[in-house]
Amino acid sequence: MTAQQQDQTRRAPRGDGEVVVVGAGILGCSIAVHLVDRGVRPVVIDPDRPGQGTSTGSFASISAFGKDPAAWFQLACAGMSGWPRFAGRIGGDVGLRRAGEVRFTSHPEEGRRLARQVADARGRGYSIRMVDADEVARLLPEARVGRVAAACFAPNDGQVEPPLVLAACRVELEAAGARLVGGRASIHLDDDGVRVEVGTEVLRPRTTVLAAGAEAVNVAAAVGLEVPTLSSPGMLAQTRPLAPLTDRVVYVPGGPGPAVGLRQRADGSVLVGERTQETPATDPGMHHARPCCPRRPGSSPCWPGSGWTSGGWPTGPCPRTGCRSSAGCPGSTRCTWPSATAGSPLPRCWAA
């Protein structure tokens, strides 16, 4: 450590930096807000520009359906029940909507599997029920449902808008005197304990919280900790803003493309995620993305005329060309890529 770094460490005011939260996504910001409520002023470090990390690329549905084992299901249920309270705590409109979730399938075998999942969830006390094709049509009046082998409706499931949540959290944190620091954290262990370096700044926190998504893997590895991860889940496509379609989260069957989930955002655009957020994607290429937009180019599975847009979310470079442009990648026609780090949710791809 340089003399300048040692001096900065000594001059750090008590109470500022005793807790460092690495990561300013929904998880990191919510932890920081709860710390503030307990009289702690954390330092929140994020390597991305505020609101441009993993959280903003999430499908952001709120549900515990299909979560196994039981401990995961219980944790998801606790998260669902906590969202209204947390949204009220940070104030403002964060896009929290609890209009329910509809799932249906056109395949008999998938229908039987769905029925078993619903029975299991109901056995755990989850609010969900099987519905017939007529009720699906009533729940989704603007959709072209087609053949329904089985369907279910979870009335308490919902969705939230991560950018609005993050913006509200930042306002609360800044008002409470918490410090948000941009830059990549480097964590070390020495004779004096944990040392967190961000650029030329050095912090000596009593507690360090890793909430940096996939980046937490690299941060933890620096101090000899292994963070278990899964492969990155499937793709997320975005349409241009459309007329109101539904305020529910909808999971629709595949054919000719893969099964997808849809939800309409506050600006009218529709997010279309391949399968579920727990389904690993084996191929993030454009030739794999196009089948997520079945029927014909520029059309969504249930609602016609849903043209795809290139979007404007900052992403990581294309793994083949290094291109970072959201307008188009010369190696993969009009696509944008996130950083291809294991554990990052929902790689994003927009097809023109």
Exposure string of 185-200, with b = 16+ CB inside 10 Å and e = fewer, is: bebeeeeeebbbbbee
The answer to whether 205 and 194 are in contact (CB under 8 A) is yes
Q: pLDDT tens string for the chain (352 positions)?
A: 455 544 444 344 334 568 999 988 888 999 999 999 999 999 999 876 655 566 666 788 999 998 888 998 999 999 999 999 999 999 878 999 999 999 999 889 999 999 999 999 999 999 999 999 999 999 999 888 888 999 999 999 999 998 899 999 999 999 999 999 988 888 888 888 888 888 888 999 999 888 877 677 777 777 777 777 665 555 677 778 888 889 999 988 766 566 788 899 888 888 887 755 544 444 555 555 555 554 333 334 455 444 444 332 323 333 333 333 333 333 333 322 232 222 222 223 222 2
Distance CA 197, CA 42 (A): 15
Residues forming beta bridges with residue 188, ordered by sequence position: 195
Ranges in the chain annotated CATH 3.50.50.60: 3-58+163-221
Distance CA 176, CA 154 (A): 37
Distance CA 309, CA 297 (A): 12
If you count them, how many residues does the chain have?
352
Q: Which CATH class is domain 3-58+163-221?
A: alpha beta
Can you give the pTM of this predicted structure?
0.74
How far, CA to CA in Å, does 295 sit from each of 84, 142, 204, 262?
A: 37, 17, 56, 15
State CA 340 to chain mean position distance: 15
The answer to whether 20 and 43 are in contact (CB under 8 A) is yes
The answer to whether 236 and 271 are in contact (CB under 8 A) is yes
